[in-house]
Amino acid sequence: MKKQVGAKKPELSELSRVKNRVSFLYLEHAKLNRQDSAIVVADSKGTVFVPAAILSVLLLGPGVDVTHRAMELMGSSGLSVVWVGEHGVRQYAHGRSLNHSSALIEAQAKLVSNRRSRVAVARQMYQMRFPDEDVSQLTMQELRGKEGARVRRVYRMQSQETGVAWSRREYNPNDFDSGTPINKALTAAHQALYGLSYSVIVALGVSAALGFVHTGHDLSFVYDFADLYKAEYSIPIAFQVTAEFGNDKDIGTRTRQAMRDAFMDGKLMVRMVADLKKLLGVDNSDEVSVLNLWDDRLGLQKFGVQYAEYEE
């Protein structure tokens, strides 16, 4: 029998649920390896050991070298890995989900494929942003207008509270440093929120592409989901960081660190998991589903059974 090399693959029951994990870790210009159940991160400043099972998403920026053994550990630990551009502005690739159940993605596909249920979920998402008002009878056009006015008010209010000048949102995705300090902070803050939203979505086995408000993009549902939390997290944090570090050349890093602290303090991931399940109407998706065969007449049939009506 071949001897196993390194630590044994963890059982699903041994892994932390997504809502109990650290939100994200952004790395750039570093070498990643594995030692037992930890990711070894080495750069010019030294070496640190990061337990893979406690992380939700690992954002890998430019200049990162990853060994095969490190990727093996990330995959077996259910750690979402996202390859991103400098400052996390672009996303290039990602790994697989933590959840082995298809319950949530089946519910999502069913809801988004029917016009009436899709509108109902979209209204529910807007209702979360207007808890004191009834939006159940508003059209999608009316909801977009109402949300646009709300976001403009949030920007104005944050500008007044922090003293940071504000005119409009503008940025060049190909040139992060060309933006004003507040726009650079907003870009970094939103990307951190997108990263966390994406991590929760894929960790629970939901499709990032099947959006209810946004559509036509492989991250449509990420934009849907992140919009629920921008007014509470990324927008105010971007203004606060700009007010304190507006002339700092590393304002993107400052903003990501502030977002990380806010995610941890506010236990946003716990809330995100609950919100996502509520939106899709599924409460029992924590359990690993049994693999079955689908039959249009008989319903679910057992997998691993030799089905044959005659002998060859």
**Residue 214 annotated as binding site:** yes
Ordered DSSP codes for the chain: -PPPPSSPPPPGGGSPPGGGSEEEEEE-SEEEEEETTEEEEEETTEEEEEEGGGEEEEEE-TTEEE-HHHHHHHHHTT-EEEEE-GGG--EEEE---S----HHHHHHHHHHTSHHHHHHHHHHHHHHH-TTS--TT--HHHHHHHHHHHHHHHHHHHHHHH----------TT-GGGS-HHHHHHHHHHHHHHHHHHHHHHHTT--SS--SSS-SSTTHHHHHHHTTTTTTTHHHHHHHHHHHHTT-TTHHHHHHHHHHHHHHHHTHHHHHHHHHHHHHT-S-TTSPPPPEE--TTT--EETT----SS--
**Residue 227 annotated as binding site:** yes
**Residue 147 annotated as binding site:** yes
Binding residues: 147, 214, 227
Binding residues for Mn(2+): 147, 214, 227
